[in-house]
């Protein structure tokens, strides 16, 4: 369970361009749920996701993960939590150009020091889950949009995280690919993963897969609750 208490994030504090991205948000995300953060651009979805995923430190407030307060942890521990607990799917996919699909998928597991052969076969298995085994040796810039996103998903899953965080995952996909993405989310949900998605795409937030929805506007929660 992720519990968020009164968190705010202020960028450029004390400067003329000070900007509050998230203000005094409190919410709870239960394990096994698929939660969508809905809201227009600039509503604070990405910042909130970043704070939930230990990428951004809140300016104030507390976040606890499985009843462990993580806000005040040093950077090293936050990185470890990020690596072991969360898998990230970014809006721009954020694959590393020039490297192969396989190398991109393996990258998050390098700091774990796992044996290369084991890691490689696990990465190949993960790619095979998304019908990408034949693209393992292909450089990521040669992949189509759909393939690149599936590689990004495979990368998010390589360390077998309990929670998947996806930021506007369908923003660069056409309708067909967006539906394919949702099929993958279904699979992940069936595998028991907790999923947090920020999106303003109706294919995502109106999907029957969603178990709860948090609506944001101007950095504050407008509505939050479970979906029937």
Partner 1 sequence: MPHTIEKQRHIIDFTLASLLRRRGKNGALFTVYTLIVFILASVMFFTYALKEEAAQVLKGAPEIVVQRSLQGRYAPIPLEYAAKIRGIRGVMAVRPRLWGYYYDSVFLANYTIMTAESIPLPPGSIAIGHGISRMRRAYEGDTISFTGVDGKARNFTIAKILPQESQLLSADLILMNEDEYREFSGLPPGLASDLTLKVRNPKELTTIAEKIVKALPDSRPIIRNEILRTYDALFSWRGGLLIIIMSAAVLAFVIFAWDKASGLSAEEKKEIGILKAVGWETSDILFMKFWEGMTVSLTSFLAGTILAYGHIFFTSAALFAPVLKGWSVLYPVFRLTPFINPGQIATLFFLTVVPYTVTTIIPSWRAATIDPDSVLRS
Beta strands 60-65; 2-11: pairing state: antiparallel
* Backbone phi and psi for residue 120, each to the nearest 5 degrees, phi listed first: -65, -45
**160 binds partner 1 per the rule CB under 8 A:** no
CB nearer to partner 1: pick between 20 and 211: 20
Distance CA 138, CA 147 (A): 11
Choose, by CB under 8 A, the member of 97, 137, 192, 225 that binds partner 1.
97
H helices, E strands: number in the chain: 7, 10
**170 binds partner 1 per the rule CB under 8 A:** no
CA distances from 137 to 52, 108, 133, 218 (A): 33, 17, 9, 44
CB nearer to partner 1: pick between 195 and 209: 195
Choose, by CB under 8 A, the member of 40, 111, 145, 202 that binds partner 1.
111
Strand partners of residue 221: 216
Choose, by CB under 8 A, the member of 26, 30, 94, 160 that binds partner 1.
94
Count residues near partner 1 (CB under 8 A). Answer: 38
DSSP label at residue 100: B
Which spans of this chain sit near partner 1 (rule: CB under 8 A)? 46-47, 49-50, 55-57, 75-76, 79-80, 82-84, 88, 90-92, 94, 96-99, 103, 106-108, 110-116, 119, 155, 159, 167
């Amino acid at each position: 369970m992720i519990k968020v208490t009164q968190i705010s994030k202020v960028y450029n504090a004390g400067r003329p361009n000070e900007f509050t991205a998230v203000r005094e948000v409190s919410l709870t995300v239960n394990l096994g749920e698929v939660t969508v953060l809905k809201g227009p651009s600039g509503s604070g979805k990405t910042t909130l996701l970043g704070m939930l995923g230990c990428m951004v430190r809140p300016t104030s407030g507390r976040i606890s993960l499985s009843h462990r307060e993580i806000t005040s942890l040093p950077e090293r521990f936050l990185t470890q939590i990020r690596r072991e607990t969360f898998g990230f799917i970014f809006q721009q996919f954020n694959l590393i150009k020039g490297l192969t699909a396989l190398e991109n998928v393996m990258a998050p597991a390098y700091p774990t020091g796992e044996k290369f052969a084991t890691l490689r076969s696990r990465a190949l298995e993960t790619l095979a889950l998304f019908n990408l085994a034949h693209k393992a040796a292909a450089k990521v810039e040669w992949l189509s949009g759909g393939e690149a996103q599936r590689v990004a998903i495979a990368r998010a899953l390589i360390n077998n995280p309990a929670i998947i965080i996806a930021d506007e995952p369908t923003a660069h996909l056409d309708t067909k690919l967006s539906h394919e993405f949702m099929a993958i989310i279904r699979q992940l949900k069936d595998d028991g993963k907790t999923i947090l998605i920020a999106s303003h795409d109706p294919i995502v937030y109106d999907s029957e897969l969603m178990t709860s929805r948090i609506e944001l506007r101007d950095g504050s929660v407008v509505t939050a609750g479970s979906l029937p």
